[in-house]
Amino acid sequence: MNTGLFSCRLFAAVLPAVLLSFASFSAQGAEPLSGGTRVIAHRGYWNTEGSAQNSIAALKKAQALGIYGAEFDINRTLDGRLVVAHGPKEQNVELQKVNYDVVAELRLKNGEKVPLLEDYLKCGKKDKQTRLVLELKPHDTPELESVAVQEVVKMVKKYKVAAQMDFISFSLHACQEFARLMPESSVAYLGGEFTPAELKKMGINGLDYHYSWFEKHPEWVEEAHRLGMTVNVWTISSREQLQKMIDLGVDFLTTNDPVLAKELLTR
Ligand code: MG
């Protein structure tokens, strides 16, 4: 065998893996790796003193943990403000059916106002190591969802945080709109009913499914990776479920217990 040619081929084969592991190391900050699995705090790190779901405090506490990212939910009010809240109702207020002034009166469990997307992004921008995993909630019509996606993208560009964003949605239409307008970003569908290949054909580069889907179809993890797609799983918080999904080799654990998930990955 020509050893020079062999070394060249070996170098060419190994180089992408080296570059890829360097890229993933820089993207995920200080969090230790275990088989590449990383942690996303579901609605931020809220399950702790002084925090609340989808609050700025929950984002700051997720940033302090040094994990991959904080997930948060977005609804668009009747007068077109993008608010960070799960909905459809927040304390009996139907977020998409009222103007923002009604939402502005509400207080979260930790005393904060319901954050506006711009406030969340401004806080997120202060720590570039923590990714912002934006879930756009389904809206009444595809037209409304298109408008919401356009406004999110406009704001993400205004605050120059595009490189920090991942997008997720239960709305296939919203996912496709994000993929169209932000082709460099990771966009994952939450619904669960499509195989990785089917999603890929629809232009979506990630799956973010309830863990029961991966219990039924563990082969989807490998299939997705073969297709160059990311695999995220929600919402798992018990030690047993977390370990099962780590062993399956998913890329992201979306969890209400990011401290435990981080501990399992550090061991
Ligand atoms: Mg969510």
Q: Are 147 and 141 in contact (CB under 8 A)?
A: no
pLDDT in the model for residue 29: 40
- Dist CA 126 CA 265 (whole Å): 26
Report pLDDT for 6.
Answer: 45
- Residue 126 CA to ligand 1 center (angstroms) comes to 22
CA of 40 to the centre of ligand 1 (A): 11
Q: What is the 35 CA–ligand 1 centroid distance (Å)?
A: 25
pLDDT value at residue 267: 76
| Exposure string over 99-120, b if 16+ CB within 10 A, otherwise e | ebebbeebebeeebebbbbebb
Give the Å distance between the CA of 74 and the centre of ligand 1. Answer: 8
pLDDT at residue 71, as a whole number: 98
pLDDT of 15 reads 52
CA of 135 to the centre of ligand 1 (A): 5
pTM for this predicted structure: 0.87
Stretches in the chain below the pLDDT threshold 50? 1-6, 8, 10, 17-34
| Average pLDDT score over the chain | 91
How far does the centroid of ligand 1 lie from the alpha carbon of residue 235, in Å?
Answer: 9
Structure tokens at 221: 């993890």
Distance 190 CA to ligand 1 centre (A): 9
